[in-house]
Amino acid sequence: MALISVANADSIKKTAGDEARRHPLMLAENTAEPEQAVGADGFRLPPQRQKSTAPDIPPLASDKSPHDVAMAAEKGTLKNPYSYSTMDPALVEAGRKKYMSVSCNGCHGGNGGGGMCPPLSNATWVYGADDDTLFRLVSLGSDELQKQGYTRKGRENVVGPMPPHGKIVKTEDDLWRIIYFIRGNFRGDAKDIKW
């Protein structure tokens, strides 16, 4: 089901500076380059060669690909090793940088507030709010998630597939940091925090 009209998708293509990284669902106005580190020779490093954005925060999860982790884990068992009980602003910021570096903002906006894609900052969660669902959804994409038996619960303004990112986000640890950012960026009511 294509809710994005063809005319709309075409106009996005024309304004896109970097068509290779574009997807019809990406925000037209998002022209910001993802933040990238610079190597010793002054050239930008590809995202996978960047050092952790928070080298002072030791990784709590593995460097396996999120795809492999999501495929191997039993349903309902994935849990962020970074505790949400007191949100660490440095870790939220580290997660935000990762989020930008893999272009989640292209579809969801810089603060996860949504654009052409569902906002990540409100209390409506399409498949559920828990860590296990979010980790799997981002890693495997919404089509594969549904194949694994996860069903649509909430409704957002956009109904379209979320592409798999479990090999674009390099490590399990990186994805948990991105999810930590999503938690830290929540703008809804405290009573709706169920994670």
* Nearer to ligand HEC (CB atom), residue 39 or residue 167: 167
Sign for the CA dihedral angle at 192, 108, 70, 58 comes to negative
Q: How far is the CB of 68 from ligand HEC (least distance, A)?
A: 16
DSSP symbol at 10: H
Q: Which position has the token pair 């654009």?
A: 115
Q: How far is the CB of 72 from ligand HEC (least distance, A)?
A: 19
Q: Measured between alpha carbons, how far is 142 from 114 in angstroms, rounded to an integer?
A: 17
Contact 188, 122 (CB under 8 A): yes
DSSP symbol at 61: S
Binding status of residue 124 toward ligand HEC by CB under 6 A: yes
Binding status of residue 107 toward ligand HEC by CB under 6 A: yes
- How many other CB atoms are found less than 10 A from the CB of residue 8? 13
Q: How far is the CB of 40 from ligand HEC (least distance, A)?
A: 28
Q: Which position has the token pair 């580290």?
A: 94
Binding status of residue 126 toward ligand HEC by CB under 6 A: yes
Q: How far is the CB of 67 from ligand HEC (least distance, A)?
A: 12
Q: How far is the CB of 41 from ligand HEC (least distance, A)?
A: 28
Sign for the CA dihedral angle at 35, 40, 46, 50 comes to negative
Contact 58, 37 (CB under 8 A): no
Question: From residue 127 to residue 156, what is the string marking binding to ligand HEC with x (rule CB under 6 A)?
Answer: -------x--xx---x-------------x
Binding status of residue 106 toward ligand HEC by CB under 6 A: yes
Binding site for ligand HEC (CB under 6 A): 23, 25-26, 99, 102-104, 106-108, 117-118, 120, 124-126, 134, 137-138, 142, 156, 158-163, 165, 169, 178, 182
